[in-house]
């Protein structure tokens, strides 16, 4: 379970800041990578965020089933967020901002349904740190 969560975090952070190897096999993968933008986090920043978020989620004391459900919701939405800056989407920075906020709102609504009030508040506090970091990276600080 911990390995799966760590893998999801690494995947999210990796996709937000760096492209995969240039040595991809399929034409589809080559096209996908050509459309990818890599600008948000450095390797060290990704590692720090991954470790910090992992520890914070552990403090929520979720059951195994609840943790799997939580991870599925969070990481599927994180993946969606990480693809917003793809070149083939051709979104402006303002469009990315609006779509990013919509995904965060959707994710939070889903999580509110499965978490206790205390766990949900903990999630909001934790994930809002990541949101603030992304806002800072994109220069959206004054709007959050």
pLDDT tens readout for residues 17-45:
544 444 445 665 565 555 555 556 777 88
Provide the domain count of the chain.
1
**Could you tell me the residue range of the domain that residue 127 belongs to?**
2-143
Say whether 65 sits in a helix, a strand or coil: helix
The pLDDT assigned to 19 comes to: 45
Whole-angstrom CA distances from 34 to 11, 85, 95 are: 18, 12, 21
State the Cα–Cα distance between residues 63 and 106, nearest whole angstrom.
23
State the Cα–Cα distance between residues 57 and 33, nearest whole angstrom.
31
């Amino acid at each position: 379970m911990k390995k799966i969560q760590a893998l999801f975090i690494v995947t999210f952070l990796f996709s937000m800041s760096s492209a995969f190897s240039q040595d991809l096999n399929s034409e589809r993968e080559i096209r996908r990578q050509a459309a990818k933008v890599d600008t948000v986090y450095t390797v060290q920043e990704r590692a720090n965020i991954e470790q910090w978020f992992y520890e914070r989620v552990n403090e929520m004391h979720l059951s195994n089933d609840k943790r799997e459900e939580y991870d599925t919701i969070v990481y599927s939405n994180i993946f969606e967020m990480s693809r917003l800056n793809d070149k083939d989407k051709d979104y402006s920075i303002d469009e990315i901002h609006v779509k990013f906020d919509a995904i965060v709102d959707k994710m939070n609504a889903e999580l509110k349904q499965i978490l206790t009030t205390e766990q949900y508040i903990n999630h909001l506090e934790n994930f809002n740190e990541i949101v603030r970091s992304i806002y800072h990276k994109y220069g959206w600080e004054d709007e959050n």
